[in-house]
Structure 1
């Protein structure tokens, strides 16, 4: 299988590394509008061919699939071009900047019979996979309540670099540079984390968004710092469970941390995931009477990269699919609407 890496920024290095490590996969080329960047990327990963545009790469065409690692606002036009050229697509999240675009991408991929997956990276967390298995087995009983959070601290810490001077962070704070803020950037992850772990999609949402002052006139160079920094959401799942979800970039002391707690009538599970460790805790059976929590050991699971290759080879689409990501995008869009209307909306 031959795969093209479209976009050669920071996250593209993860795609190249993971795909290259899979037996039988070849990195066929790199694409970027910045010639120096694509040249450096190709040298790092031993890729022979570089292209300055997707059109040029598609004209060459000697590859099976595309890993789309372009900025959020570019996902739609580039994915549509790739699909219409008959290429399978593994797209970074969010799939698109709005529900309508995401649905067009989904329907096109399905109509053409092409493999389509979105890199919701926290599906790679083995503890989340095991928690979902426990919930779906009925061990916690009917799910009644859940709480989920995604905490980052790069607006108050330089552990990942200085956002005031680096474009890789500044664009995430600017609507005109294609960002939907924390809601679009990491909200998509925690919504998927919560729904997947609880084994149910969303039915109702209400969200509040906040953008805090970060610089004089909330502007640095060409970047207007107008994208949301924090959100707090109440949500109900199709299974009836009620819960809260929140995310922020102002969580001092938390570099990159996701948590999910799922409470059922017979027991509970909790997933803690950080950049350096993950834990799964359960309170089941007789332990619910003493409030005793037990850490559960889990085995590694196949990554999204591995499963995309498996899907292309088998011809059978796997999750997380474009359609799933489109459903999440609908919730993200509604979150913005509910913030404006100050009222709950049905999904």
Structure 2
């Protein structure tokens, strides 16, 4: 697979670390509007072809697929251009800023017959994959209740950088700079974590969003700090289970933690993922009588990057695809409506 990298920021470096280890993948070009950032990135990864616009790269055309690592609001126009050029596309989350744009991308990709995949990175978490297998195998019985959380503390801790002075973080706090807050940034991750792990879809949603005061007048320089910092969400799942999902950037003591608890009539599972590692615990069978939890061993799983490369080679569409991401975006869009209207909505 001849791969084009679109956008050369921090996540691009992370992706290239993975792609460079996959046999049969050659990174043939990189695109960025910032010439200094482009040069530094291309030099680091020994990429010969360098473009300051996607149009230039498409005119050149000597690539099979692209990984789109541009800012959220740029995903739609750039991915549509790639699809029109007949290129396979791996797109960072969220697929688009809203459901109509995400649906347009989905339908265009399906009509063009190109491989389309969204980089929901927590699909790489082996304990989540194992939990889903156990749910589908009926080891928990009928699922009754699901809890999921995505906790970050970068509004409290400077471990990842200082949001007060760095544009990398400030834009994520400002709707005027394209942010839909924590809901738009990591909401799609935790919705996928919950629904995928519990092997079901979200059917109804009711959400509350909160923006806390962070600076005098709610503004730092050109950035109005008006995007949501925390959300809580109650959901009904298609399998009949009730769910509670929440996320916050104010979770002191949690740098970047996803947690999922799945409760069934025959047992329960807990998945925890932190920067330091992941784990799966279960309370199953006779252990349910004594509330005894035990660690469950899991084996490594292929990464999204490996599965994307395999899909391009085989022509077989992988998951999570654009349509899945668009459906999750619909839930996120409706969550914002439920906040405004204070009522539950059917997905």
Q: Smaller-chain TM-score range?
A: over 0.9
Query: Residue in 1 aligned with 2:85?
Result: 85
Query: Residue in 1 aligned with 2:267?
Result: 267
Query: Residue in 1 aligned with 2:219?
Result: 219
Query: Residue in 1 aligned with 2:331?
Result: 331
Matches of 1:112 and 1:281 in 2, distance apart?
42
The Cα shift of 1:171 comes to 1.1
Matches of 2:306 and 2:48 in 1, distance apart?
23
Q: What do residues 281-300 of structure 1 show as CA deviations (whole Å, max 9, x unaligned)?
A: 01111111111111011111
Query: Residue in 2 aligned with 1:65?
Result: 65
**TM-score with structure 1 length normalisation?**
0.99
Tell me the secondary structure at the aligned position of residue 239 of structure 1: coil
Query: Residue in 2 aligned with 1:48?
Result: 48
Query: Residue in 1 aligned with 2:147?
Result: 147
Query: Residue in 2 aligned with 1:196?
Result: 196
The Cα shift of 1:170 comes to 1.0
Matches of 2:10 and 2:315 in 1, distance apart?
30
Matches of 2:3 and 2:222 in 1, distance apart?
34
The Cα shift of 1:140 comes to 0.3
Alignment of 1:178-193 (within 5 A): 178-193=178-193
**TM-score with structure 2 length normalisation?**
0.99
Query: Residue in 2 aligned with 1:205?
Result: 205
Query: Residue in 1 aligned with 2:176?
Result: 176
Query: Residue in 1 aligned with 2:242?
Result: 242
Matches of 1:170 and 1:43 in 2, distance apart?
28
Matches of 1:149 and 1:36 in 2, distance apart?
38
Matches of 1:297 and 1:143 in 2, distance apart?
22
Matches of 1:330 and 1:158 in 2, distance apart?
33
Tell me the secondary structure at the aligned position of residue 83 of structure 1: helix
Matches of 2:22 and 2:167 in 1, distance apart?
31
Tell me the secondary structure at the aligned position of residue 254 of structure 1: coil
Tell me how large the CA RMSD over aligned residues is: 0.6
Alignment of 1:6-45 (within 5 A): 6-45=6-45
The Cα shift of 1:109 comes to 0.3
Tell me the secondary structure at the aligned position of residue 100 of structure 1: helix
Query: Residue in 2 aligned with 1:277?
Result: 277
Tell me the secondary structure at the aligned position of residue 306 of structure 2: helix
Q: What do residues 87-136 of structure 1 show as CA deviations (whole Å, max 9, x unaligned)?
A: 00000000000000000000000001000000000000000000000111
The Cα shift of 1:16 comes to 1.3
The Cα shift of 1:49 comes to 1.2
Matches of 2:306 and 2:118 in 1, distance apart?
13
Query: Residue in 1 aligned with 2:4?
Result: 4
The Cα shift of 1:225 comes to 1.0
The Cα shift of 1:6 comes to 0.4
Matches of 2:10 and 2:180 in 1, distance apart?
19
Q: What do residues 3-53 of structure 1 show as CA deviations (whole Å, max 9, x unaligned)?
A: 111011111111111111111111111111100010001011111111100
Query: Residue in 1 aligned with 2:295?
Result: 295
Q: What do residues 146-192 of structure 1 show as CA deviations (whole Å, max 9, x unaligned)?
A: 10000000000000111111111111111121111100111110000
The Cα shift of 1:221 comes to 1.7
Q: For structure 2, which runs of at least 5 residues remain unmatched after alignment?
A: none
> Does 123-132 or 220-229 show the bigger shift?
220-229
> Does 244-253 or 219-228 show the bigger shift?
219-228
Tell me the secondary structure at the aligned position of residue 286 of structure 2: helix
Query: Residue in 2 aligned with 1:166?
Result: 166
Query: Residue in 2 aligned with 1:119?
Result: 119
Number of residue pairs aligned between Structure 1 and Structure 2: 347
Query: Residue in 1 aligned with 2:344?
Result: 344
Structure 1 residue runs of 4 or more that deviate by more than 6 Å after TM superposition: none
Q: For structure 1, which runs of at least 5 residues remain unmatched after alignment?
A: none
Matches of 1:261 and 1:195 in 2, distance apart?
11
Tell me the secondary structure at the aligned position of residue 155 of structure 1: coil
